[in-house]
Amino acid sequence: MKIGLNATCFNNRPSGAKQRFIGIYSKLFPRMKSDSFIVYEPVDCAVSEWFDHHDNVIYVKTPLHSERRYQKYVYGVFYWPKVFEVQKFDIFETFSLPLVREKKVVLFLTIHDIRGVYLNDGWIKRIFYSAILRYSIKNSDYIITVSNYMKNEIYSRFPGTPISTIYNGINIKDVHRKNSVDVGGVFKRFDLSNKYLLSVGHFELRKNYSTLIKALKILHDMGKKESIVIVGNDSGEINTIIELSKSLGLSKYVTILSGITDNELGLIYQNAKIFIFPSLYEGFGIPILEAMKAKIPIVLSDIPVFKEIVGNNGVYFNCHEPESIAYAINGVITSKGESERLVQNGLEKVKKFDFCNVSEKLQILYNKNR
């Protein structure tokens, strides 16, 4: 079987989609060694550097730029038909919109969420995104998405669409070990010697960090002088959070870290007291898995997708109410028994999401569509 992968949406910027792509295909390439893969890279990133060498995988540099969305749309309309004509794929999977139709190939489209329908600024952007989404889903043969919540959301808008849920994953055995060099480097450099609350995710409106900072203020007013570390790159909201922290007198209690390596992040997880995920909207939420693996109790928004992933292994709050967040955090801080229960249940739950299991499900789906 010959499989093409359109990886032109990925670059060196950290993202959950990139983490999923690397995790799944690192397992799948050697697992499907009798099948061949062609991975198409963007012009601005060497995707091949993320993987070990495999004889059944080749990488092709394209003229498409990972971040120039409209250029990629226009160029793609002309570029991909030529690729399909030459390569004669059995399956071709793409990981971003739009999808270019080819009748002789089974086309897979992976969708992490459809937040562009709701969260794009301005009605013109929403209409444009919705049109591209509709076209791409209509012209794909199969949709892969990352949670049953997202599967149902897509299906409610596009009834009859063939959709499979293949969860995001994590490498369970990829443990970040503390040693004197790492601890001295990471925690001294970022001044993180004491235990702290932790949240992880890019600085964008849907991550709801403003409400989290207001909750921290309530904790302080209750006499709980907790500090919080927020790890993420700026997507437009970082200055808002900095200014809000300053206005509430919390600047020295709020640490913002960007450009963190995976190993540094692993260590930062391990020294956290509680992990907090206050998002308003997610298709999945990979930091949840990272927190469970790191043996941290989880406090998170009561949105449906989080309940699907975490079940009874977390404490939930109303993500629109700072008071609800503050009381949920305080409840875990003050109850050692509750904290230990959440940690132990999380360690069992996260095993389900190991990339070995996730990649097997994708292999089965590929084989069904030979």
Q: Which amino acid is at 11?
A: N
The token duo for 76 is 């793609």
pLDDT for the residue numbered 156? 92
pLDDT for the residue numbered 176? 44
Average of per-residue pLDDT across 126-136: 86
Between residues 239 and 98, the one the model is more confident about: 239
Between residues 360 and 125, the one the model is more confident about: 360
pLDDT band, residue 15 (cuts 50/70/90): confident
Average of per-residue pLDDT across 158-165: 93
- Residues whose CB is less than 8 angstroms from the CB of residue 152 and which lie 6 or more positions away in sequence, other chains included: none
pLDDT, mean over the chain: 91
Rounded Cα distance, 144 and 333, in Å: 38
Is pLDDT of 330 > 50?
yes
- Residues whose CB is less than 8 angstroms from the CB of residue 104 and which lie 6 or more positions away in sequence, other chains included: 84, 88
DSSP 278: -
Q: Specify whether the CB–CB gap between 81 and 102 falls below 8 A.
A: yes
Rounded Cα distance, 188 and 202, in Å: 23
pLDDT for the residue numbered 181? 45
Rounded Cα distance, 309 and 168, in Å: 10
pLDDT for the residue numbered 119? 66
Between residues 269 and 188, the one the model is more confident about: 269
Comparing C-alpha atoms, which of 152, 138, 47 is closest to residue 98? Answer: 138
Is pLDDT of 324 > 70?
yes
Rounded Cα distance, 140 and 107, in Å: 5
The token duo for 288 is 């949840």
pLDDT for the residue numbered 180? 39
pLDDT for the residue numbered 179? 44
CATH number for the domain running over 180-353: 3.40.50.2000
Neighbours of 227 (CB within 10 A): 18
3-class secondary-structure state, position 144: strand
Q: What b-and-e string marks burial along 248-278, b requiring 16 or more CB atoms within 10 Å of the CB?
A: eebeebbbbbeebeeebbbbbbbbbbbbbbb
Residues of the chain with CATH 3.40.50.2000: 2-169+354-368, 180-353
Rounded Cα distance, 341 and 73, in Å: 48
Q: Specify whether the CB–CB gap between 272 and 294 falls below 8 A.
A: yes
pLDDT for the residue numbered 221? 97
- Residues whose CB is less than 8 angstroms from the CB of residue 365 and which lie 6 or more positions away in sequence, other chains included: 142, 144, 164, 166
Q: What is the CA radius of gyration of the chain?
A: 21
Q: Specify whether the CB–CB gap between 274 and 336 falls below 8 A.
A: no
Between residues 86 and 124, the one the model is more confident about: 86
Q: Which amino acid is at 338?
A: E
The token duo for 27 is 């397992």
Helix, strand, coil percentages in the chain from 3-state DSSP, rounded to 5: 50, 15, 35
Question: 354 has which bridge partners?
Answer: 170
- Residues whose CB is less than 8 angstroms from the CB of residue 332 and which lie 6 or more positions away in sequence, other chains included: 274, 297, 299, 315, 338, 339, 342
Average of per-residue pLDDT across 41-67: 96
pLDDT band, residue 50 (cuts 50/70/90): very high
The token duo for 150 is 């997202």
Is pLDDT of 177 > 80?
no
Q: Specify whether the CB–CB gap between 176 and 263 falls below 8 A.
A: yes
CATH number for the domain running over 2-169+354-368: 3.40.50.2000
pLDDT for the residue numbered 84? 94
pLDDT for the residue numbered 300? 96
Is pLDDT of 233 > 50?
yes
pLDDT for the residue numbered 79? 92
User: Which three-class secondary structure string do you get for 35-82?
Assistant: CEEEEEECCCCCHHHHCCCCCCEEEEECCCCCCCHHHHHHHHHHHHHH
- Give pLDDT tens digits for 182-229: 555 778 888 887 899 999 999 999 999 999 999 999 999 999 999 999
